[in-house]
Amino acid sequence: MTNSTKVTLAAAMTGRKLQHQMQSVRANKHAVNRDLVARKATGVHAPFYYHIHLYMPCNQKCIMCVPNGRHPKDLIPFPQFEAFFDQIKSHAEHITLIGGETLMYPWMEEVIDLLAEHKLAVTISTNGTMLTEKLIGKLLTLRELNLRCSIDAATAETYHKIRGTDWFERVTRNFRLFSEMASDYPAIRQIMVYVVMKANLHEVLAFVELAKEFSPHQIQFHPVRHVTGWSVENGTGWTFNGSEQSCESFKDDYNAAIRQAARKCGSAGISHEVMIMK
């Protein structure tokens, strides 16, 4: 199913559910939560959270994602996004936009303008390569934003190895700029995201040090997922063996490094999200 189809279906479903939409975002949300607690098989109230795959193309070749760089071409045409948003805007509380590289979406500024008119929280995942001063200025118009910034490395060498591009300086500069420009906006939050695998485990502490520069709202360390059995390359001169790189295969070392990273975040007063493996 293409992403445009997914949105069309979601829009149609939302349209059907609108007849059960409550008068306000809050009332609607309570109704949805009541249905969940009651374990009702079919919810009749409109959803308050939406996760939208806006744009599938991307400019990187991350070893744990699309290492050959052959990203799907699907995107949601802007008029379709507008029509979808029109159906959900009265009851949506939180929208997550994801890609591909989300900020490469050709109508990103128009999307931000549309979302900025409404009282809702927006989460955007990005690799940071397209963050310009102009785009950051736009992002600051949102009422509430969680900008999830992916790096996965504390050095240019490891960044290149994992993300397949030589853009460590570029993205750290962009994230620094975002941090400076957003400093007076308490509802605009920068969340640094580090996907952990064997090849970058040794840099988790250095990453906490680096991330301090961005005064982040939070640092998240996530173990790499769904790569067991992979044997792939991204053109940077190494072969990624998914079974060896998965954190389950070096669980004790992973847990020790992540606990240390969590302690380092704690002593620096940085909120953090980590997963300890059982």
Measured from the CB atom, the residue of 115 and 196 that comes closer to ligand SAM is 196
Question: How many CB atoms sit inside 10 A of residue 50's CB?
Answer: 18
Which helix (H) or strand (E) segment holds residue 191: the answer is strand 188-196
According to CB under 6 A, which one of 21, 28, 60, 200 is a site residue for ligand SF4? Answer: 60
199 binds ligand SAM, rule: CB under 6 A:
no
According to CB under 6 A, which one of 28, 123, 125, 158 is a site residue for ligand SAM? Answer: 125
Shortest Cβ 199–ligand SF4 spacing (Å): 14
Token duo for residue 139 = 């992002």
Separation between Cα atoms, residue 189 and residue 199, nearest integer Å: 28
C-alpha distances in angstroms, 266 versus 25, 75, 208, 260, 273?
A: 35, 40, 10, 10, 11
191 binds ligand SF4, rule: CB under 6 A:
no
User: Considering CB distances under 5 to 8 angstroms, the limit depending on partner class, which of ligand SAM, ligand SF4, none binds residue 98?
Assistant: ligand SAM
205 binds ligand SAM, rule: CB under 6 A:
no
135 binds ligand SAM, rule: CB under 6 A:
no
Measured from the CB atom, the residue of 127 and 158 that comes closer to ligand SAM is 127
Listed ranges 31-39, 43-51, 56-64, 211-219: which one lies at the site for ligand SF4 (CB under 6 A): 56-64
Residues near 49 by beta carbon (within 8 Å), at least 6 away in sequence: 92, 93, 94, 95, 96
Residues near 244 by beta carbon (within 8 Å), at least 6 away in sequence: 198
Overall size of the chain counted in residues? 278
What is the DSSP secondary structure assignment for residue 271, as one 8-state letter?
E
- The 43-72 contact track toward ligand SAM, x by CB under 6 A, reads ---------------x---x-xx-------
Map residue 50 onto helix, strand or coil. Answer: strand
> Tokens 């736009």 identify what position?
138
Measured from the CB atom, the residue of 114 and 232 that comes closer to ligand SF4 is 232
- The 90-109 contact track toward ligand SF4, x by CB under 6 A, reads ---------xxx--------
Q: Beta 94-99 vs 121-126: how paired, if at all?
A: parallel
* CA distance from start to end of the chain: 36
According to CB under 6 A, which one of 120, 195, 211, 261 is a site residue for ligand SAM? Answer: 195
Shortest Cβ 82–ligand SAM spacing (Å): 22
112 binds ligand SF4, rule: CB under 6 A:
no
Which residues here bind ligand SAM, judged by CB under 6 A? Answer: 58, 62, 64-65, 98-99, 101-102, 125-127, 150, 193, 195, 222, 224-227
